[in-house]
Amino acid sequence: MIFSRKRAEGARHARDERDNGVLDAEDTPQAPARGPYDLAEAPDAPRLDLGSLQIPAVPEVEVRVQADPQGVVQQVVLVHGENALQLGVFAAPRSEGIWDEVREEIRQSLFNDGAAAQEVEGEYGTELRARVRTPDGITDLRFVGIDGPRWMVRGVFQGAAATNPDAAGPLTACLDGLVVDRGQEAKPVREPLPLRLPREVAEQQAGQEGAPQREV
């Protein structure tokens, strides 16, 4: 699945005010107070470079990735205690977000699978919460999406953070400190932006067989 959202009214990013012409021409544009950030607006901070996504270093948060033998990352999951946040980043239109339509597609897909989903207004705009049946039992999920300039980040929370955003703690800090390096290449809307292992990790993996999941 692919997720995003349109900016809600009163969104917390200074970028939105600039886009809407709220700031005076004499004002110097400032970076958003919180991310996810576009690479051009990101403050300096230590991060793990996965290509299109740069993950901030947050204490007690494990970054788990699944990659193919060529080092191309297939999945990124952040883990803190019993909570998890799966991340993805995708190409998006320059002119508008697509979270409304994609959220409806997700809701319909869940409904077809026998799972009810509820829309809830959250910190990142309209979220989608659902309870699904998995081989491990019933699992709660919380889908969020955030639009940026020609990209969208989606996150799927699991664990207590799926029903109680306050329980996300350091995972929210990771999402708010995330940086997107969109690149200049033209890409179809919703196409995943390329992710890769850090060079040193990819070199280690090249000398090993199997073990596609890495903690970095």
**Strand-pair category, 213-215 with 117-122:** unpaired
Q: What is the pLDDT of residue 63?
A: 95
Q: How far apart are CA 188 and CA 108, in angstroms?
A: 23
Contact 72, 80 (CB under 8 A): no
Amino acid at 136: D
Q: What DSSP assignment string belongs to 99-124?
A: HHHHHHHHHHHHHHTT--EEEEEETT
For 117, the token pair is: 């989903």
Q: What is the pLDDT of residue 22?
A: 40
142-190 pLDDT, tens digit per residue, is: 999 998 899 999 999 999 999 999 999 999 999 999 999 999 999 999 9
pLDDT band at 212 (very low <50, low <70, confident <90, very high): low
61-119 pLDDT, tens digit per residue, is: 999 999 888 888 999 999 999 999 999 999 998 888 878 878 888 899 999 999 989 99
pLDDT at 20 over 50: no
Q: Look up the pTM and report it.
A: 0.79
122-148 pLDDT, tens digit per residue, is: 999 999 999 998 888 899 999 999 988
Q: How far apart are CA 215 and CA 117, in angstroms?
A: 31
